[in-house]
Amino acid sequence: MVDRLPVGVIVTAHDGHADARRVGSWAIVRIDWNEKRFVIGNVGNVEIRVVGAESLPSFVVRRGILGSNAPKPRVTEHAWDPRFLFVLHTDGLKGRWRWNQFAHLAQRPADELATTMLSALARDDDDATVVVLKEVRP
């Protein structure tokens, strides 16, 4: 099952099927709620930001594109903090945004935050994807 495969294997397996002439990016986050850990892997132009806690992990983004000449994915493991809010976005979003522009939406549903960010920050000359991940508290 895919949910048991290491993140690096999932990215590498997909890479073998990508057309070398096509541009593509991947970022995968696997959160283990019980162990309070997460693993993240990426290849391509996907920015990864985490906000919401005093001690934040930092990530090295593996630049490149999927295809026959893709670099090996960068996979790292980190402690999970339930206050974390992940924002992953492609390079179709203006990269110079600040969290304080959107912090007032932190308690809103993740899809609403992602939609708001996409509307406010999407570049006119590129496609864009925004994914927001956060723990839902009862």
Rounded to whole angstroms, how far apart are CA atoms 38 and 83?
13
Each residue's pLDDT tens digit, 83-133: 888 888 887 787 788 889 999 998 999 999 999 999 999 888 887 888 898
- For the entire predicted model, the pTM comes to 0.73
The predicted-structure confidence for 28-71, as pLDDT tens digits, reads as follows 788 888 888 888 887 777 888 888 767 666 666 666 655 556 66
Distance in angstroms (rounded) separating the CA atoms of residues 104 and 98? 12
pLDDT at 89: 85
Q: Where are the domains of the chain?
A: 2-134
Provide the CATH number for the domain formed by 2-134 in this structure.
3.60.40.10
Neighbouring CB atoms inside 10 A of 38's CB total 22
